[in-house]
């Protein structure tokens, strides 16, 4: 039963009742002069009066802000688009600021490099009312995502659906999800501002652990700019192993203290550790961005990366599948060469790709 003295929540719900917006799209902007026009127009072209667009310039040093404001002058936005400027504070703090400004029933997060497809909001409407709505994004493996959607739609127990989403790494991004603003505000959810990576994962998982149902739209509705050479994922991240360890320790704690049964928690932790163990390949692949692949020359760095992932997040959780067991055994017995070899076979073109961009 609601606390009658929780006046803040009551006032917020009354405001929501009279809000003209169904969706709030929050766009943090930073030095994105080449892509911001496409990003903004992908929302404005939808011609929806029930969508508000919140543009937050996070201290850009290029023409991003000027371009954004010029587009707004050209378009008869009727008060549904607002521009804000802040000193550079990072994407998490900027998104949190956007959440505090939003008036819509649902929250969406759009990166300034990316854009939405036509009829984006019509597709969301057709999906109906759900605690969590997930849709496809162009950077995903489309075949794997669609298969995951089919499996999730056939499940009736939410914890089983959540386990499947974790297993397929669908929760890693906040950009391909529609969140209830009421749930976010009621539970004081925010993007962690002290993390350098993984803030999307922490926010999305924190939210998902509070939900009771999820719906997956199979269609690809969110387009990621794969040509952005300045994006974080395309730069060499020397501290990535330690940063990932911090992210997964935090998400482990979220699951550990979630309001689920012990059995359900163990299943979720299995999936979490599987994703964590596979991250060793991601971190080894970082080496290929700056050095030509060579086990002999990179051996010390390879061992250092593998050392971060040798200890599982939970010894009690067990394994998701055979591959999970094999990867854990290889890490435990220090078969680092074979892990490196698998990574090389999967990511051997990374070095040539990044050398070509320089």
Render pLDDT for 293-315 as a digit per residue (tens, 0 to 9): 899 999 999 999 999 999 999 88
Q: Which CATH architecture has domain 7-232?
A: Alpha-Beta Complex (3.90)
- Flag whether pLDDT at 266 surpasses 80: yes
Q: How far is CA 341 from CA 267, 294, 346, 348, in A?
A: 29, 10, 9, 10
Write down the mean pLDDT value for the chain: 90
Per residue in 269-296, pLDDT tens? 999 999 999 999 999 999 988 888 899 9
48 class by beta-carbon count within 10 Å (0-12 exposed, 13-18 middle, 19+ buried): middle
Provide the token pair at 224.
């990621």
Segments making up each domain of the chain, as ranges: 7-232, 236-357
pLDDT of residue 78: 59
Section 316-326 average pLDDT: 93
Would you place residue 72 in the very low, low, confident or very high pLDDT band (cuts 50, 70, 90)?
A: confident
Using one digit for the tens of pLDDT, what is the confidence trace for 77-101?
Answer: 657 899 999 999 999 999 999 999 9
What does pTM read for this prediction? 0.90
Give the pLDDT mean for 141-157: 91
The band of 2, judged by pLDDT with boundaries at 50, 70 and 90, is very low
Mean of pLDDT values over 220-240 = 77
Structure confidence at residue 76 (pLDDT): 63
Alpha-helix residue ranges (DSSP H) falling in the chain: 7-17, 36-44, 64-74, 91-101, 120-127, 142-153, 158-167, 181-186, 199-208, 240-256, 262-287, 295-309, 322-332, 336-347, 350-357
Is the pLDDT at 3 greater than 50? The verdict is no
What pLDDT band is residue 316 in, cutting at 50, 70 and 90?
confident
Contact 221, 138 (CB under 8 A): no
User: Residues 167, 274: contact at Cβ < 8 Å?
Assistant: yes
The neighbour count for residue 211, using CB atoms within 10 Å, is 16
Buried b / exposed e along 242-276 (16+ C-beta atoms within 10 A): ebbbbbbebbbeebeebebeeebbebbbbbbbbbb
Asked if 56 and 98 touch (Cβ cutoff 8 Å), the reply is yes
Residues near 28 by Cβ (< 8 Å), separated by ≥ 6? 56, 58, 91, 94, 95, 98, 111, 112
């Amino acid at each position: 039963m609601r606390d009658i003295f929780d006046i803040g929540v009551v006032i917020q719900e009354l405001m929501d009742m009279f809000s003209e917006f169904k969706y709030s799209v929050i766009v943090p902007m930073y030095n994105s002069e080449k892509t911001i026009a496409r990003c903004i127009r992908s929302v404005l072209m939808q011609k929806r009066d029930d969508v508000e667009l919140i543009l937050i310039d996070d201290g850009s040093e290029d023409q991003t802000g000027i371009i954004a404001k010029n587009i707004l002058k050209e378009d008869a936005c009727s008060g549904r688009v607002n521009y804000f400027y802040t000193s550079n504070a990072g994407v998490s703090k900027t998104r949190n600021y956007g959440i505090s400004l939003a008036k819509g029933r649902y929250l969406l997060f759009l990166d300034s490099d990316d854009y939405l497809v036509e009829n984006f909001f019509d597709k969301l409407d057709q999906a109906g009312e759900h605690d969590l709505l997930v849709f496809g994004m162009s950077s995903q493996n489309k075949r794997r995502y669609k298969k995951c959607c089919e499996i999730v739609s056939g499940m009736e127990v939410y914890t089983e659906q959540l386990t499947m989403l974790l297993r397929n790494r669908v929760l890693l991004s906040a950009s391909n999800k529609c969140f209830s603003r009421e749930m976010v505000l009621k539970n004081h959810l925010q993007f962690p501002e002290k993390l350098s990576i993984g803030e999307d994962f922490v926010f999305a998982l924190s939210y998902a652990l509070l939900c009771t149902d999820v719906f997956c739209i199979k269609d690809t509705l969110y387009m990621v700019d794969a040509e952005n050479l300045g994006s974080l994922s395309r730069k060499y991240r020397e501290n990535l192993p330690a940063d990932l360890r911090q992210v997964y320790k935090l998400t482990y704690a979220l699951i550990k203290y979630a309001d689920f049964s012990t059995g359900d928690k163990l299943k979720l932790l299995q999936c979490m550790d599987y994703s964590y163990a596979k991250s060793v390949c991601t971190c080894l692949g970082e080496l290929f961005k700056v050095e030509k692949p060579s086990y002999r020359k990179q051996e010390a760095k390879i061992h250092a990366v593998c050392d971060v992932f040798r200890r599982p997040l939970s010894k009690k959780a067990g394994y998701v599948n055979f591959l999970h067991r094999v990867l854990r055994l290889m890490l435990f017995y220090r078969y680092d060469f074979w892990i490196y070899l698998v990574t090389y076979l999967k990511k051997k073109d990374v070095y040539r790709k990044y050398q070509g961009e320089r």
